[in-house]
Amino acid sequence: MNHLRFSLTVMFFALALLASAQSPAKLSGVITHPVGRPVGVLWYPYGGALSEERVAFSTKLDDNGAFQLDIPLDKPRVATLSHGRETTPLFLFPGDKIEMKLDPGMFDETISYSGDNASAKASNFLAAWFLKFDDGTPANLHALQVQSLDIPGYMAYSDKRYQERISFLQAEKTRLSLPDELVNFVAQRELYKYALERLQYPYMQEQEELPELPAGYYDFLSKVPVNQESAVGLSEYANFLEMYLIYRQAAAGKSEISPVEKMEADWKIIGEVLTGNALRMGQGMVLSAVLREGYTPRVGELFDDLAKTDDGISKALRPVVETARKLGPGNPAPAFTLVNMEGKEVSLADMKGKVVYLDFWASWCGPCRAEMPYSHTLADRFKGEDVVFMYISIDDTEKAWKKGVADLKMKGTLLWSPRDKSTGADYDIQYIPAYFIIARDGTIFARNARRPSDPEVDQQIRAALAAGR
């Protein structure tokens, strides 16, 4: 996805975890040349497939750059350690004590863990794996390689790349006596990454229509378990399932269908291929995807049925459902008062009687910047009509916001809402650019409105103008 995603809210489940945990993993360490004081460990329930809420534990470095975190765990799990703008994966076992050393100037090259236990061994392996296979340069080379190959060449390259990784994993398992939990995690992660890339490949070609694929292209799916309960919670598995549904719909000739029609078709496929926890997670994914478009009574009905059979999935999904219901068409748009370029306060309420095309953006967001020329011409097409084009920047600093405005020669109502304000959270902004259309009466006309570059955006805005007359 080209959107730059960011999380505006964090849900802490520490008390619940403490109640069910066997014992905490104890992570301590020293960071030389730190970038600020905060350091944290987090993970996303269900691999982030249902919502952006996360389990997070954080602390601050002391004057010597040292820290200690107790992380309640009820089972071994992969997590993400963060400091400054950098992150790294680590693998933790309940009850283990490990120490970390790190210099942020060479983040991935200097991170190391010590401790005579499975957590240290597993986390060191993940750090080494990242440098070998997943660092930025190899990833860029992989993308270029994919684009330069014909379809048979890509198939051979993809298979070879996957086998190289699995062979390395098996060799290191023997050499280092890696814990089974880590080996199973990495093996599943790589399998579903491989399958996801194979499913995505036809859509990566710069063609108006999907390329004609050779017979046997999808034979790899016979070796990929679609129904895999042990992979529930793995983001790669969730991403694979999402793409698998697209593949199934395309195979059935149902590529061009509405979000609600897709939800019903996906719900049927999920019921056919998944069982148990995988089924319930898949159903939650289907609902989460359609909720990005808005809430409907049918979504509420399916969610209520899901809530009867699984408390964990429904608990994770419930905030998404409630937010979508709140931001559905006809509901009051969340109020805000922000400062403009001249330092004066501007409120959404000031625009009552006019249609507002609301654009959440940031100066560092490439897709946001790419839309701005289209936004300028869109505004010109509605010049003299009751439409306000309002741009809310979520830049960290006022300087960055104003520089972005100047660089892009932006016009309209230009406002700044730094991340410590609640505006983005009130509108459930999970990625940018994000667009809303607010009706004349201050209610939401469209969530996830058409982008300025979309040929249908004029029609959507005109529908909002007509609705308020």
Inter-CA distances, 347 with 8, 131, 375, 415, 417, Å:
21, 48, 21, 10, 12
Are 24 and 104 members of one domain? yes
User: Domain boundary residue among 296, 326, 356?
Assistant: 326
Are 103 and 41 members of one domain? yes
Both tokens assigned to 96: 């283990």
Angle at 292 between CA 368 and CA 320, to 5 degrees: 120
Are 370 and 312 members of one domain? no
Encoded amino acid at 174, one letter: T
Are 276 and 350 members of one domain? no
Cα(368)–Cα(435) distance, integer angstroms: 11
Inter-CA distances, 103 with 98, 106, 276, 334, Å:
17, 6, 44, 43
Query: In this structure, what CATH number is given to the domain that contains residue 29?
Result: 2.60.40.1120
Model pTM score? 0.77
DSSP helix/strand/coil, 28:
strand
CB 324 within 8 A of CB 295: yes
Are 34 and 57 members of one domain? yes
User: Domain boundary residue among 75, 105, 134?
Assistant: 134
Instruction: Tell me which residue of 105, 17, 1 sits closest to 55, measured CA to CA.
Output: 17
Q: Is residue 429 part of a domain?
A: yes
CB atoms under 10 Å from CB of 140, counted, come to 10
Cα(59)–Cα(82) distance, integer angstroms: 11
Q: Is residue 301 part of a domain?
A: yes
Residues 161-175: pLDDT tens digits?
999 999 999 999 999
Q: Is residue 211 part of a domain?
A: no
Question: How many residues in total does the chain contain?
Answer: 469
Q: Is residue 24 part of a domain?
A: yes
Phi, psi (rounded to 5 degrees) for 373: -60, -40
Both tokens assigned to 249: 């719909």
Q: Is residue 228 part of a domain?
A: no
Are 285 and 406 members of one domain? no
Query: In this structure, what CATH number is given to the domain that contains residue 371?
Result: 3.40.30.10
pLDDT at 348: 93
According to DSSP, residue 454 is labeled S
Q: Is residue 210 part of a domain?
A: no
pLDDT at 205: 67
Are 296 and 352 members of one domain? no
Instruction: Tell me which residue of 352, 356, 332 sits closest to 413, measured CA to CA.
Output: 356
According to DSSP, residue 116 is labeled S
Are 267 and 366 members of one domain? no
Are 321 and 374 members of one domain? no
Are 264 and 312 members of one domain? yes
pLDDT at 428: 84
pLDDT at 10: 35
User: Domain boundary residue among 118, 134, 150?
Assistant: 134
pLDDT at 419: 62
Are 314 and 397 members of one domain? no
Q: Is residue 356 part of a domain?
A: yes
**Exposed, middle or buried, 222 (CB in 10 Å: 0-12/13-18/19+)?**
exposed
pLDDT at 13: 38
Are 301 and 362 members of one domain? no
Query: Which ranges constitute the DSSP H helices of 359-421?
Result: 366-381, 398-407
pLDDT at 16: 42
Inter-CA distances, 335 with 137, 332, 424, 447, Å:
44, 8, 11, 15
Pairing of strands 387-393, 86-92: unpaired
Q: Is residue 13 part of a domain?
A: yes
Range of the domain at 366: 337-467
pLDDT at 140: 55
Encoded amino acid at 222, one letter: S
State the total domains in the chain.
Answer: 3
DSSP helix/strand/coil, 443:
strand
Both tokens assigned to 149: 């190959």
- Residue segments in the chain with a per-residue pLDDT below the cut of 50: 1-21
pLDDT at 292: 73
